[in-house]
Amino acid sequence: MKIFQTDEIRNVALIGAAKSGKTTLSEGMLFEGNMINRKGSVDDKNTVSDYRQIEIDRHISVNATLMHTIYNEKKINIIDAPGFSDFTGDIQSSVCVADTAIFTINGQAGVEATTENAWHQTEKSNTPVVFFVNYLDHHNANFDEALGQMKDYFGDKVTVVQYPVNTGEGFDSIIDLMYMKMLKFKQGGGVAEVLDIPANELEKAKKLHRSLIENASEGDEALMEKYFENDDLSLEDTRLGIRLCLAQRGMFPVLCGAAKHGIGISRLLEFIIKTCPTPEQSMGRKTTSGKEYTYKVSDAPALFIFKISNEQHLGEVSQFKVYGGTIFEGQDLINPRTGNKERISQLFVVNGKNREKVEKVVAGDIATTIKLKEVRTSDSLFDPKAADEPFEMIQYPDPIFSCAIKAANSTEDEKLGSILQEMHRNDPTIIAGMSRELRQLILQCQGEYHLNTIKWYFDHVHKLEIETFSPKVPYRETITKTAKADYRHKKQSGGSGQFGEVHLMVQPYVEGYKEPTDFPVRGKEEHKLPWGGVLIFNNCIVGGSIDARFLPAIFKGVMERLEEGPLTGSYARDIMVYVYDGKMHPVDSNELSFKLAGRQAFIAAFKNAGPKIMEPIYDLSVRMPEDMMGGVMTDLQGRRAVIMGMDSDGKYQIINAKVPLAEMDKYSTSLSSITSGRGTFKMKYAEYMQVPTEVQAKLLKDYEEKSKDNE
């Protein structure tokens, strides 16, 4: 295969909602570039990008798929990103390395939730955006309504470059405002027939053309001067202006077509080649030390791994973009994260599962390699002589869905853990870890549909039966008043027995607390607890009733019950313990005896000290369309949320609230249902607060019943 130079390469990501036609569009782009001789379809299960079994089964894209086409001697790398927001990891990885994001808009449905969510990702990465309004061959298609929604959601920088003439069945003609011609396409695609604009469309076309030229001239002062002098711009100047505006996100051009019938695809490819930024005209990538690589072949070799996947018969495949120099087969590069060398054993350019070997890849290009030893998504590889800091990592969103997971057969727990680690390598938005506190393996992801996809892989690929259920809530236990208790541990079984008696008092720890006056404090130990809060352990023994050597054992017994609170088995916190009396036996007293006595005395005192359960409270920020605020508010009130305030963000409203974690199970699913997928939320731990009396009663009852079941 020809080695394309940096200025001959374009990198685009196809972004859009499910069923907006991204995969069909990619088929058309490959067909127009003669990469395939027959277009596949999602219904026929034979597309280049949706080749994985899960995608064939579900008729949707689940993973981002790398492809390329060649048009007019230029190479266009295409990343077909998934259409569901649950797969935001792959969407973000795709946007991260694309020089232009092509947003497909369903001409029947307009702007959909996934489109909005992906748009915010392009804002963060400053990625240029081009809109392609698809499905204009459908009888329900409405270009003007879709355009109005785009302007509403994304602003007045949305600029028409093309608009359809005859939407609906039989659609085949587009007015192109750059050429000021009508393009008539044959069913199936190909280069369009160029015709004059019909008289009844001329006035509309001139008005939109002027708007396009005005917006394009804003990309550069010299172009602005030309526009003022001539009241127009040449085709080349228009392309330059759009390109400059695109790079600054100063314009979002709108093209249109019907991907299924190949209408508008050849013109889209031409627009990508002649108007969209080349890699050199795009933003480079900075290292963590601030050094920027800008696709210069003369720079030292540098690449960034934006996706890792496991492919049948190949193993682990690393997809990367070259930000500097040239990458060769057999080249040794350094991974600054590990400090280890990685050898580029083979290089491939790919179209889905089909791959073609190449000897080298230049700056600006995207390719794949295999058999790297120790890399993960967002890793960087550099020339050993450069010894640079790693590139800035992709910032993936925080998980919004959590569940506990375990293998149905406990003997397969280790296998479960290794599979989840592999899944995390392929998709960093899948996070799993064992919670020591909850004694559960917690799986975090981007939504319930994401979880169902994970389950599919366990069922169909790994053949491992799993169970998922709601995670426990990390409650805390504390006390609200002072109480005393004592306990004698005595055991005789022949020979030396066990004896220890402990008298202690507990009181809640609060700022500015006062020491008791009925006995002196002879020694004080303050312990910051790993789970938050403090334990203050006081030695108040007078007269040697308990030898000092047994106090650590008493402390150990108390700590054991702090780690498994007396009420529900949750961590206890913010307690002061005063050991003020007790008894010993000259033969039978030992550390175990006093540990058990201290433990039981603490339990008795704790239960008499006005014990309370505390629950984690989170700061919640929910963003939703204004007309959906009532439903969101009602739902939050049913979750014991306290509304703290409201803000506005354009057409959106933001509700800020404090809400108990216990009420947020599967909230992402509920919010999506209430807002038709348009609502988003963020949560951050705020504090622990006492649970309401009725909630505490239920928790105590549930724990008691569970304890009986385990006896």
Which burial class, exposed, middle or buried, applies to 34 when counting CB atoms under 10 A from its CB (0-12, 13-18, 19+)? exposed
SS3 string, 570-581, reads CEECCEEEEEEE
Lowest-pLDDT range of 186-190, 266-270, 560-564, 687-691: 186-190
Q: Is the pLDDT of residue 2 over 70?
A: yes
Q: How far is CA 11 from the centre of its chain?
A: 23
Please name each of the domains of the chain with its CATH number. Answer: 6-193+251-281 (3.40.50.300), 285-382 (2.40.30.10), 402-469 (3.30.70.870), 477-610 (3.30.230.10), 613-695 (3.30.70.240)
- Percent of the chain topping pLDDT 70: 99
Mean pLDDT (whole number) for 7-18: 96
Give the Cα separation of 516 and 112 in Å (integer): 65
Q: How far is CA 499 from the centre of its chain?
A: 57
- Contacts made by residues 664-673, CB under 8 angstroms, sequence distance 24+: 664/618, 664/620, 664/639, 665/470, 665/471, 666/401, 666/448, 666/470, 667/400, 667/639, 668/400, 668/401, 668/446, 668/447, 668/448, 669/401, 669/447, 669/448, 670/635, 671/622, 671/624, 671/632, 671/635, 672/447
Give the DSSP H or E segment for 114.
helix 113-125
Bridge partners, 320 (sequence order): 305, 367
Mean pLDDT (whole number) for 635-654: 93
Q: From residue 214, give the alpha-carbon distance in Å to each of 234, 316, 656.
A: 12, 49, 41
- What does the pLDDT look like over 573-612, one tens digit per residue? 999 999 999 999 988 899 999 999 999 999 999 999 999 9
Looking at residue 583, its pLDDT comes to 95
Total residue count of the chain as it appears in this document: 711
Looking at residue 215, its pLDDT comes to 95
Q: Of 564, 600, 567, 599, give the one whose Cα is nearest residue 704.
A: 567
Give the Cα separation of 16 and 61 in Å (integer): 11
Give the Cα separation of 418 and 281 in Å (integer): 42
Q: Of 665, 106, 604, 5, give the one whose Cα is nearest residue 363.
A: 5
Looking at residue 709, its pLDDT comes to 66
- What does the pLDDT look like over 185-230, one tens digit per residue? 998 888 999 999 999 999 999 999 999 999 999 989 999 999 999 9
Mean pLDDT (whole number) for 339-365: 95
Mean pLDDT (whole number) for 61-81: 97
- What does the pLDDT look like over 135-194, one tens digit per residue? 999 999 999 999 999 999 999 999 999 999 999 999 999 999 999 999 999 988 889 999
Q: Is the pLDDT of residue 711 over 60?
A: no
Looking at residue 1, its pLDDT comes to 76
- What does the pLDDT look like over 348-357, one tens digit per residue? 999 999 999 9
Q: Is the pLDDT of residue 494 over 80?
A: no
- What does the pLDDT look like over 407-434, one tens digit per residue? 999 999 999 999 999 999 999 999 999 9
Looking at residue 595, its pLDDT comes to 97
